[in-house]
């Protein structure tokens, strides 16, 4: 497996990104294109298929949102643990001054540069992208969702 860095850290889950979501989106579009309001019976049938197609579009998106929300909670706990391990202090004060995106970006920094970069991120209000670009010792995550 290649070493992760800023240029290649984006992950795609092929089944979700390239199969399930496009397929449900195509089905939703096809359902809309086939809607027929020429009679009450066809209108009800069109409405029925529209609701079903809409639910099918939402299901993979909802599953993805749940996975990402859980992953974010795990990352915050990981950062709390790393910060305590490195400093012997709780992460509470730093966590209050960082946005979620900044915390997620900081997790890619190696232990040798994490604290300094964290202080800079707070002081200079660095964006997640800026934080990631400044990481010299990239700590890859090969198992995230």
Please give the pLDDT value at position 10: 76
Residue 126, Cα to own-chain centre: how many angstroms? 19
Look at residue 144 and tell me whether its pLDDT is greater than 80.
Answer: no
User: Residue 139: which of 11, 3, 2, 1 has the closest Cα?
Assistant: 3
Q: Tell me the per-residue pLDDT of 127-139, one tens digit each, with 9 for 90 and over.
A: 999 999 999 988 8
Which residue has better confidence, 90 or 17? 90
| Start-end of H helices in 1-145 | 14, 21-33, 40-87, 92-97, 100-106, 111-124, 128-134
Tokens of 22: 């496009």
* Domain assignments of the chain as residue spans, ordered by start: 11-71
Residues ≥6 apart with Cβ < 8 Å to 54: 28
| Full-model pTM | 0.78
Mean pLDDT of all residues in 39-56: 96
């Amino acid at each position: 497996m290649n070493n992760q860095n800023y240029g290649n850290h984006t992950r795609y889950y092929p089944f979700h990104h390239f199969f399930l979501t496009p397929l449900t989106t195509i089905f939703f579009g096809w359902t809309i294109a086939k809607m027929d309001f020429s009679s009450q019976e066809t209108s009800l049938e069109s409405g029925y298929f529209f609701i079903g197609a809409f639910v099918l579009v939402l299901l993979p998106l909802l599953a993805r949102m749940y996975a990402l929300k859980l992953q974010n909670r795990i990352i915050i706990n990981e950062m709390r643990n790393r910060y305590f391990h490195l400093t012997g202090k709780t992460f509470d004060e730093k966590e209050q001054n960082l946005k979620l995106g900044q915390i997620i970006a900081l997790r890619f920094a190696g232990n040798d540069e994490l604290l300094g970069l964290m202080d800079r991120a707070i002081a200079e209000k660095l964006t997640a992208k800026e934080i990631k670009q400044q990481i010299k010792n990239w700590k890859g995550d090969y198992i995230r969702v």
